[in-house]
Amino acid sequence: MASTKVQTQLKDKLKEVFGYNQFRGNQEVIIQHILDRKNTFVIMPTGAGKSLCYQLPALMQEGTAIVISPLIALMKNQVDQLQALGVDASFLNSTLSKSESNRVKKETLEGKTKLLYVAPESLTKEDNIELLRKSNISFIAIDEAHCISEWGHDFRPEYRRIKQIIEAIGDLPIIALTATATPKVRADIQKNLKMEDANIFLSSFHRDNLFYEILPKTEPKVQLIRFIRNHQNKSGIIYCLSRKKVEEVAEFLRINGVNALPYHAGMDSAQRMGNQDAFLNEDCDVIVATIAFGMGIDKPDVRFVIHYDAPKSLEGYYQETGRAGRDGLESFCMMLFSESDIAKLEKFHKDKSVTERENVHILLQEMSYYAHSSVCRTRQLLHYFGEDVEHNCNHCDNCKTKHASFNAKDQILLALKTVEETESRFGIEHICNVLTGTKSDYVESYNHTEISTFGKGSEFDNQHWESIIRQSMINSFLSKDVENVTLIKVTEKGKKYQKEPYNLDYTQDYQWPSELEALN
Ligand code: ADP
């Protein structure tokens, strides 16, 4: 526990530099940890205030804190904001001229710079390593730390070299920060940074002002315009998969009297920035964008986020929808879902390595199941990020609609038994095949036609059993293996349920007829 004197100093600095009266959530304990030179791992939703967790301790110590950040635009944004507050902050990346970069290096060596933002690419340059070795570095902050993990949604190979470089610079405390990390990604980050001993500060991902809704994508344009008419003159973001679709949807909205502008990386930068500013300054209500839009944008009153096309992962979906309602007021997140979008996303990656394709496939399967499930959206999302919630949120489409449910006790027990009999070495698809008695080379090669549960669930199809397994995961009877997320095993809670089972209702998944899916 920090002394009262240190606490007072921290609070004074918070007020003096940032103008805030209070810390938010875990900020103060996190900062204290860094000041104690302990490795720290911060997982906090977007907008919760991660930056302050490394900015403030940087100002409380001698020397320069290094902030590794993946996006040049974000870096510039933060440095501008800090300089406006009177903080000595700079960045080192490929956009600087030789003389600018020399000035930054000189000020770092002199210990004048309190925060130095560096792109991972610049960090790997030999002369920069040399510079940092000679400078007085207080600690290293790694922003968007999920980029380290191949299992994450934004893998950046150069992030995997960070630890090696830090070791070359010196024995420095690390603070890793991210807004999205499933338990698997978390384990990967800690292993890669050799900070298994780090204290993890995990904030709840629950956003109770967001209303989540998914509709089968049947007539996307009609569904879109209907939604927007119900939220007239409100500020909103519409995400589309391709630049072409962005242009098309923005045009369609304009024709229909909606004040909308496009945003994507293919536009010339002046026009793109102009559209972004128009959105931020309320000169346009709706921005139609690819996922290039939104990182680092802090517009508090975005009232809705629409996914016109399916996102590529639940991590992406959570981050993108998280841009709604930052002011805490009720906001809406609507997705138009179709399996053909999922197929398109798989196709986008067809030329990638096998590992990458498999990873994409797993992320998309999760996405697809999330869309079809009638379990509370919040519970599903939080479970995905490793947070178990017992109660439904009562503010998503699934909570607001009455779904057919059934007593699943016997089916849960059968599914758990099958996972055990196959020695927890298989994934959902295989377990479903065993339950339904579907013979495949794979099932036969493991002699799983011989086990007692083979075909015992044949009155239902694979889809039904997948739903039983997924709902059992949300209820923590089953869990994914942390090392290999494609494998599932029975948890302690599951074992207890086997010994003392009780009636439990599961809900029927959505049965969206495939012929209804849009030909978009
Ligand atoms: P994140 O990096 O977690 O997405 P930011 O660091 O950008 O979030 O912070 C989001 C917003 O919250 C910013 O506008 C920031 O100034 C504000 N903020 C952070 N900490 C506090 C605090 N203790 N009191 C008030 N506002 C804060």
Model confidence pLDDT, tens digit, residues 3-29: 788 889 999 999 999 999 999 999 999
Listed as ranges, residues in the chain with pLDDT below 50 are 515-520
Asked if residue 289 lies in contact with residue 217, where contact means CB atoms within 8 angstroms, the answer is: no
Instruction: Name the residue with the closest Cα to ligand 1, atom 10.
Output: 47
pLDDT of the residue at 48: 84
Which ligand 1 atom lies nearest to the CA of residue 51? Answer: 6
Ligand 1 geometric centre to CA of 380 (Å): 26
Q: Which two tokens stand for residue 220?
A: 């996307």
Atom of ligand 1 lying closest to residue 179 CA: 3
User: Could you give the 3-state DSSP secondary structure of residue 79?
Assistant: helix
The protein residue whose alpha carbon is closest to atom 20 in ligand 1 is 49
Ligand 1, residues at Cβ distance < 6 Å: 20, 22-24, 27, 44, 46-52, 298
CA of 12 to the centre of ligand 1 (A): 17
- Name the closest-CA residue to atom 12, ligand 1: 49
Residue bearing tokens 């050799």: 194
Residue 514: predicted pLDDT: 54
- Ligand 1 atom at minimum distance from 27 CA: 23
Task: State the distance from the centre of ligand 1 to the C-alpha of 47, rounded, in angstroms.
Answer: 6
Residue nearest atom 15 of ligand 1, based on CA coordinates: 49
CA distance 142 to 137: 14
Spatial CB neighbours of 10, under 8 Å, sequence gap ≥ 6: 2, 23, 28, 31, 32, 56, 60
Q: Is the ipTM of this complex over 0.90?
A: yes
Give the CA count within 13 Å in the CB-facing half-sphere of 472.
Answer: 34
Tell how far the Cα of 22 is from the centroid of ligand 1, in angstroms: 11
Residue 2 pLDDT: 63
- Ligand 1 pocket mutation pick from 12, 17, 51, 295 by most atoms within 8 angstroms of CB: 51
